[in-house]
Amino acid sequence: MKNEVWGPYRWEAKRSVGLFASPCCGATAVVEHGECRFPCQTLAMEPCQTLAMDPRQTRSQGPAPSAGYGETSMSIICGDHMAPRQALGMEVQAWTAGPPSVNLHSPDRGLKGETMERLLPNDDATDLLEVVRDFAQSELAPRAADAEENEEFPRETFRQMGEMGLLSLAYPEEYGGSGQPYETYLQALEEIAAAWMSVGVGTSVHTMTCYPVATFGTDEQKQRFLPEMLGGSLLGAYALSEAGAGSDVAAMTTRATRDGDDYVLRGTKSWISHGGHADFYITFARTGEGKSGISCFHVPADADGLEFGVPEKKMGLTGSSTTTVTYDDVRVPVDNLIGGEGKGMSIALSALTSGRLGIAASATGLAQAALDAASAYAKERHQFGQAIAGFQGMQFMLADMAAKVASARALYLDAARRRDRGMKFVREAAIAKMVATDAAMSVTTDAVQVLGGYGYTRDFPVERYMREAKVTQIFEGTNQIQRLVIARDL
């Protein structure tokens, strides 16, 4: 039987009736039908041993005496100095130290008030954020850890989100989108990423893949492609990077050659999110030389000659498939050329500018999740006779973490609001992406430190958060590239 994590030590109970008293100090608690009348009250067993009871963690383990108030079914796993039958009148079946008393996997991990406190443009946006958060915490958060551990790509989750309209929030209603301003979309994305980072990043990637057609496509292309791309049934991938062309996009070698009414694509793309699972690939390939010789194409996943490599073995975001994509004489109609020949570089950079805000929002959500976990733990973990959150050193660490999260959120929202108003936001997007992802790396690392040894184990989610944070400093423009973008705009 699996022990649930709650209390300074693990305990299990299903049905217990009685007044239990500590053999050490006489402290008492009433436990009736698995409900402790004083939830989470610590009862001293011995000077160095504590046991916390909480009604949310109950399991049957067999009969034991109950201090004269009837039969109880309870098994206690407590400190290794606990003598049998000393555990508040209950028979100890086994004993071992366990993690401190905080359920960091709970859907109610401290974000419930966050949505209501956001500065949103209207009541509709507030209602939307409440729906998104409820979905994220009820449907995404409970599944994230297992899916990441098993490297399961959440295709059905994306399909469900598509049906809810969550994959098209920032696009016009006339093409199947929700017509939301970017500041609203990004805050919804933050809620999704806080619950499950792979899904948050995947939502950002899909949103970016729709950008070239929505912004640079002809009216005919918008009518032909966007309803399905935004309708929820399709998932996109953005095929720009190559093994020798990462930060240096102009070094790409994938080529598209005109052949009658088609272009024939040959080459290999690397580090492609959703590789092998996407329904279409926004692909950048050479049609000429130099920076002006790159073009953008809409390539359907069922095109002949399109092949996918084995998913990369990554340190984080293991629920998100990342592969190579090989174009072996893949034919696409001339009508699938987006924006005209030679426009690919400007399309790619424009899409990345908006996409970086999605990564900034996702990183902020991840950092918020880590802050929530660390704060909750610090309030429950007791050392030297008090919660560790009461120590000034811990308070300063948590305060610094909170300041970084708030700063990241403010920066991505500033850039988004500029975008919504038609203002320049290239520099602001780079700043937001750099600061938010650096903050995510710092905050998640500090969260592991707050939890100490437990933070280094997979019993708690903060080590996963730390692994997931690292790649945010790398993809969609490394943070060193962001510094170049910022400096050039000064």
Instruction: Name the CATH superfamily for 237-345.
Output: Butyryl-CoA Dehydrogenase, subunit A, domain 2 (2.40.110.10)
Which residues make up the CATH 1.10.540.10 domain(s) of the chain? Answer: 112-235
Query: Cα dihedral sign for 245, 248, 251, 256?
Result: positive
Distance from chain centroid for Cα 161: 15
Tokens representing residue 289 in the block: 């030389």
Q: So what's the pLDDT on residue 103?
A: 53
Which residues make up the CATH 2.40.110.10 domain(s) of the chain? Answer: 237-345
- 428 is annotated as an active-site residue: no
Which residues make up the CATH 1.20.140.10 domain(s) of the chain? Answer: 353-488
Q: So what's the pLDDT on residue 267?
A: 98
Does domain 112-235 match CATH 3.40.50.1370?
no
Fold of domain 353-488: Butyryl-CoA Dehydrogenase, subunit A; domain 3 (1.20.140)
Mean pLDDT by 10 residues, the chain (490 residues): 31 33 35 34 32 34 33 32 32 38 45 59 95 97 98 98 97 96 98 98 98 98 97 96 96 98 98 98 97 97 98 98 98 98 97 98 98 98 97 98 98 98 98 98 98 97 98 97 97
Q: So what's the pLDDT on residue 117?
A: 80
Model's pTM, two decimal places?
Answer: 0.80
Set 148, 428, 463, 476: catalytic member:
476
